[in-house]
Amino acid sequence: MTTTLVYGLAVAGRAVAKELVARGQSVVLADDSTDDVAIAAHNQLASELGARFISKPDAQQLIEIIAQVDQVSPAPGVPEEHQVIKFSKTQNKFIASEIELAYQLEQLAPHPRPMVAITGTDGKTTTTLMAAAILSSAGLRATAVGNTELPLISALKSDAQAFAVECSSFRLAYTKKFRTRASVWLNLAPDHLDWHSSFDSYKSAKAQMWAHLNNDDVAVVPQNDESIFAIAKQSGARIISFGSESGDYHLSDGFLNSPNGRIMNVSEMRRSLPHDITNALAAAAITIESGLATKNDVATALAEFVNAPHRIELVVTSRGVAWYNDSKATSPHASKVALRSFDSIVLIAGGKNKGLDLDEMACQPKRMRAVVAIGSAQKEIQSAFSEVCEVRTANSMHEAVAAANALAKPGDVVLLSPGCTSYDWYANYGQRGDDFAKEVNALVESLDVAEAAR
């Protein structure tokens, strides 16, 4: 019987432990949390699975635990320089991420279900959801999994007929066999340098998506990124390109185009900002080139597609000012996408930096009306925009929204696009985005009341 050390017991780790035990394997559970509520939940899980749980093991405990197991599955939140990784490598233990274990389990089925995969610094979730929608339009029961709310390993027991797998660098770093019919690497910029030891490490982790492809598989690359193209070329897979102006899948005369002709007019899409178009082209490429969908399926799906929350999401338009929630933008590269989408912006930015250069965010000086700096990276945001536009600071989201309202003029966009994680003020980017929307709606309501009273 295979025994796996599952290290880190959030969503992915718990899913791995449950599925392995359900398949007759044994697990040992461990987590670094010192929170009493979390520890109680982990002990409860261990009791349900008939497993041993160790809370924050020290080095000697960990060495002994690793010696007793066959393999180690670190959760996505466990950084590559964590001692569990170091000791596992020292003892030559097989290290496997959630998607690797899920992939291997799926290959044991008589007829493994097809998968398409998506990675990149930004746009992964949107493109994954688009791909799943296209596969559903093609008549397949398709599910978006991976770096989403649903781990791939949790979806194996579902009735899904195909999977669109969002692949973070964390999950790709520890893959040995994972491969899909078609996969796209959307873009590449420094990110997660608080998890990876270097940018090269981050890039190498992404490259694992193509490490096991063969000439029957398809690697989809951005037309203008030579480094991604070079990695695809090494894979031996068939290469297909996409881009806003050129590539096998491209935009021309207002139409999304494939190698076999037009797909649809972008005016038929519910939203067609520049990044919506490139994400749509990427999703079209992997679903069509995998043989799982047609141009008509793409057009039908994209005409109805509504993106997930917190991604350049319109909250409200009031008094000529549009308020957008882009809380999911947790890196400068992600924020730059939003900043290119509007002409006159009051930006709310900051939070907990991931070791990235926030100066990159000051890339659209002509579009900037003002900036409101928030969170622990407040001073870095101030420094980045000090010579670009007026910068104010705020010590709560309530203060930030009020300051942005004072700065904005009719025709402006107020954009929450932090360029940082939320972990200084909030538990996650969703909580941050929800708080922003709540404060914006409260502000608009108070203005409406005041106006009605006059």
pLDDT beyond 90 at 239: yes
Token pair in block for residue 117:
């995969």
66 plus 120 within the same structural domain: no
With residue 62 as reference, give the H or E element that holds it.
Answer: helix 59-68
pLDDT recorded at residue 260: 96
Backbone φ and ψ for 294, nearest 5 degrees, come out as -120, 175
What digits encode the pLDDT tens for the residues 370-409?
999 999 999 999 999 999 999 999 999 999 999 999 999 9
For residues 288 and 309, give the distance between their C-alpha atoms in angstroms, rounded to a whole number: 26
Task: Provide the residue range defining the domain that includes 12.
Answer: 3-95
pLDDT recorded at residue 148: 76
Token pair in block for residue 427:
């538990």
- What is the strand order of the sheet 313-318 is part of? 313-318, 321-325, 413-416, 345-350, 368-374, 390-393
169 plus 264 within the same structural domain: yes
CATH number at residue 42: 3.40.50.720
CATH number at residue 363: 3.90.190.20
For residues 431 and 443, give the distance between their C-alpha atoms in angstroms, rounded to a whole number: 18
Last residue of a domain, one of 67, 95, 123: 95
Identify any residues that bridge with 6 across adjacent strands, giving them in sequence order: 29, 73
Answer whether 357's CB lies under 8 Å from 336's CB. Answer: no
For residues 219 and 208, give the distance between their C-alpha atoms in angstroms, rounded to a whole number: 12
238 plus 105 within the same structural domain: yes
53 plus 168 within the same structural domain: no
262 plus 130 within the same structural domain: yes
pLDDT recorded at residue 83: 97
Last residue of a domain, one of 255, 286, 304: 304
Answer whether 124's CB lies under 8 Å from 183's CB. Answer: no
43 plus 104 within the same structural domain: no
Token pair in block for residue 371:
């900036």
Q: How confident is the model at residue 196 (pLDDT cuts 50, 70, 90)?
A: confident
For residues 280 and 73, give the distance between their C-alpha atoms in angstroms, rounded to a whole number: 33
Q: How confident is the model at residue 452 (pLDDT cuts 50, 70, 90)?
A: confident
Q: Amino acid identity of 200? A: D
Tell me which residue has tokens 């999994």: 145
pLDDT beyond 80 at 19: yes
Backbone φ and ψ for 304, nearest 5 degrees, come out as -110, -5
324 plus 408 within the same structural domain: yes
For residues 372 and 381, give the distance between their C-alpha atoms in angstroms, rounded to a whole number: 9
Last residue of a domain, one of 79, 95, 111: 95
Q: How many CB atoms lie within 10 A of CB 40?
A: 10
224 plus 343 within the same structural domain: no
pLDDT recorded at residue 147: 83
Total tally of structural domains belonging to the chain: 3
pLDDT beyond 90 at 230: yes
pLDDT recorded at residue 94: 97
Q: Across the chain, what does the average pLDDT equal?
A: 96
166 plus 239 within the same structural domain: yes
pLDDT recorded at residue 130: 98
Percentage of the chain beyond pLDDT 90 is 93
Q: How many CB atoms lie within 10 A of CB 370?
A: 22
197 plus 123 within the same structural domain: yes
What stretches of 143-225 show up as alpha helix (H) in DSSP? 152-155, 169-172, 199-207
pLDDT recorded at residue 193: 73
pLDDT beyond 90 at 23: yes
pLDDT recorded at residue 135: 98
For residues 443 and 454, give the distance between their C-alpha atoms in angstroms, rounded to a whole number: 17
Instruction: Work out the average pLDDT over 236-261.
Output: 97
127 plus 64 within the same structural domain: no
79 plus 111 within the same structural domain: no
For residues 236 and 232, give the distance between their C-alpha atoms in angstroms, rounded to a whole number: 7
pLDDT beyond 80 at 107: yes
What stretches of 342-377 show up as alpha helix (H) in DSSP? none
What digits encode the pLDDT tens for the residues 310-324?
999 999 999 999 999
CATH number at residue 244: 3.40.1190.10
